[in-house]
Structure 1
Amino acid sequence: MFEFFPWLLGLAVLALLWWQSMGAKARARRAALEACEAAEVSFIDELAFKGIRLGRDERGQICLKRRYGFEFYRRGDRRYAGEIEMHAERLAHVQLDPYPI
């Protein structure tokens, strides 16, 4: 009976990480849409996962830092890149590449 406990615990941890990752991605997508709307550009693609690493947030606590990429356009002729960094499930930074006004 107890030989399955480590496996169940491992699966529970993986499920929790997956659930938190989905929540962080949803918040990152919402932030990308809001940043594009504020800059008066059009959001093109879904978010692309760029990486994950351990790091410290602004309060010095250890957290997972996730990076997502997306694309947007101003007039429809050229795509520009944007990037979002999440600390755990909090938005840390949104960056839009330079584009013509």
Structure 2
Amino acid sequence: MVFDLTTVIILMLIGAVATIWWKSKEAQERALLAARAYCKSMGLQLLDECVIQSNWEISRAEDGRRCFIRRYQFEFTSTGHERYFGEVIMKGQRLQNVHVEPHRVSQ
């Protein structure tokens, strides 16, 4: 079987898109685990058991390679009545930081 240059380029693009999608799903799973762990450690309840990717950008890792910085939002509650937002920042496949909005502390 002989492939022309167009076919090879298309196959490479499909492979690149599939790899980016796969790595994105892995990062999302890790962000969900980080959000769960953070909420548990702070006595908060993670709502909806999900994180939603809000944006991403390309940056450089510590070793100089390019990587994606992905931001995921999640909702949590501290009292059971109000919803608050939090954010998980992933740099590549590593957890960078978890932020939460100011919220009421349950008694």
With the shorter chain as reference, the TM-score category is over 0.9
1:66 pairs, out of 63, 70, 77, with: 70
Select 2:22's aligned residue among 19, 23, 31.
19
Unpaired runs of 5+ residues, structure 1, are none
- Give the TM-score normalised by structure 2: 0.88
Amino acid at match of 1:35: Y
Q: 1:4 is matched with which residue?
A: 7
Which residue in the other structure is 2:37 paired with?
A: 34
Which blocks of at least 5 consecutive residues in structure 2 are unaligned? none
Q: What amino acid is the match of 1:53? A: E
**Superposed displacement of residue 63, structure 1:** 1.2
Change in CA separation of 1:63 and 1:41 when aligned onto 2, cut-off 3 Å = same
- Runs of 4+ in structure 1 off by over 2 angstroms are none
- Figure out how many residues of one structure are paired with residues of the other and give that number: 100
- Asked if 1:94 corresponds to 2:98, the answer is yes
Shift of 1:56: 2.5
Structure 1 residue 60: Cα displacement: 5.6
* Cα RMSD, aligned residues only: 1.1
Letter in 2 for 1:21: S
What residue identity is the alignment partner of 2:68?
Answer: L
Cross-structure match for 2:79 = 75
Percent identity (aligned): 30
Which of 1 and 2 has greater Rg? 2
- CA separation in 1, counterparts of 2:18 and 2:63? 26
Deviations 1:11-51 (A, max 9, x none): 00000000000000000000000000000010002111100
For 2:31 and 2:80, locate their aligned partners in 1 and report how far apart those are by CA, in whole Å: 23
